[in-house]
């Protein structure tokens, strides 16, 4: 989930038999979309309980040894109509990522998360996120007291959107972020932990007229 759309390693080089990936995070898909990758050598061996029987079979043909004799592609795993909208958006997201290049995305996210960890350390905050890139992706956590309440204050007062998991703040970033975003987030965390008021946000241009 966290690596897809961020890390450049091809799926067929991971040595896995089956990989399931949700499409609504780094792949820019809709909730409910995703990918199931299967090592090609195993495709004909898989069985499911939801595959439809064929509408018609050629004369003299009846599947005896396999419920999949009538189809040898990924369509064998469809139990109903495909998620057409999800597939459409998913394709656009994949094309967008390809236009940038996963190696470029991974390099940029690595730079940003490394910078984020340095800012957190310089601010006197603690994180359990490993410094080694091979052990992390685009998420950096920050150990703070009252993480849930702090998350709400960061969103409402500083327009800094974070999440909470396992009692820690989660700062998630991608290539669309920059170093200024990270500095703003860490500074906001510092101010809230110190009990200082949030700086005034500039009014939109339309409101100043």
pLDDT at 89: 95
Residues 74-78: what's their mean pLDDT? Answer: 68
Q: What is the chain's mean pLDDT, rounded? A: 85
| Three-state secondary-structure class, residue 163 | strand
Instruction: Using pLDDT thresholds of 50, 70 and 90, give the confidence band for residue 64.
Output: very low
- List C-alpha distances in Å: 35 to 1, 15, 39, 87, 186: 10, 17, 13, 10, 34
User: Among 49-58, 131-140, 189-198, which is the least confidently predicted range?
Assistant: 49-58
Contact 2, 137 (CB under 8 A): yes
- Percent pLDDT > 70 in the chain is 78
Pairing of strands 168-172, 34-38: unpaired
pLDDT tens for residues 79-128? 677 788 999 999 999 999 999 999 999 999 999 999 999 999 999 999 99
The pLDDT of residue 70 is above 60: no
Instruction: Using pLDDT thresholds of 50, 70 and 90, give the confidence band for residue 207.
Output: very low
pLDDT at 58: 56
Instruction: Using pLDDT thresholds of 50, 70 and 90, give the confidence band for residue 46.
Output: confident
pLDDT tens for residues 142-159? 999 999 999 999 999 999
CA distance 138 to 173: 6
Closest CA to 167 of 131, 201, 205, 141: 141
């Amino acid at each position: 989930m966290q690596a897809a759309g961020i890390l450049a390693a091809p799926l067929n080089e991971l040595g896995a038999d089956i990989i399931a990936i949700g499409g609504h995070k780094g792949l820019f898909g809709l909730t409910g979309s995703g990918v199931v990758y299967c090592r090609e050598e195993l495709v004909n061996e898989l069985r499911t309980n939801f595959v439809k029987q064929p509408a018609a079979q050629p004369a003299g043909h009846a599947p005896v040894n396999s419920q999949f004799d009538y189809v040898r592609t990924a369509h064998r795993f469809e139990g109903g109509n495909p998620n057409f909208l999800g597939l459409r958006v998913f394709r656009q997201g994949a094309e967008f990522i390809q236009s940038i290049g996963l190696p470029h995305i991974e390099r940029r996210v690595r730079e940003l998360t490394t910078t984020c960890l340095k800012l957190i350390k310089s601010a006197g905050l603690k994180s359990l996120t490993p410094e080694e890139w091979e052990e992390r992706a685009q998420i950096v956590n920050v150990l703070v007291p009252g993480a849930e309440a702090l998350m709400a204050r960061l969103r409402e007062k500083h327009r800094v959107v974070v999440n909470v998991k396992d009692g820690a703040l989660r700062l998630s970033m991608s290539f669309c972020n920059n170093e200024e975003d990270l500095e703003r987030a860490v500074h906001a965390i510092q101010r809230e932990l110190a009990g200082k008021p949030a700086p005034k946000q500039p009014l939109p241009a339309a409101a100043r007229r």
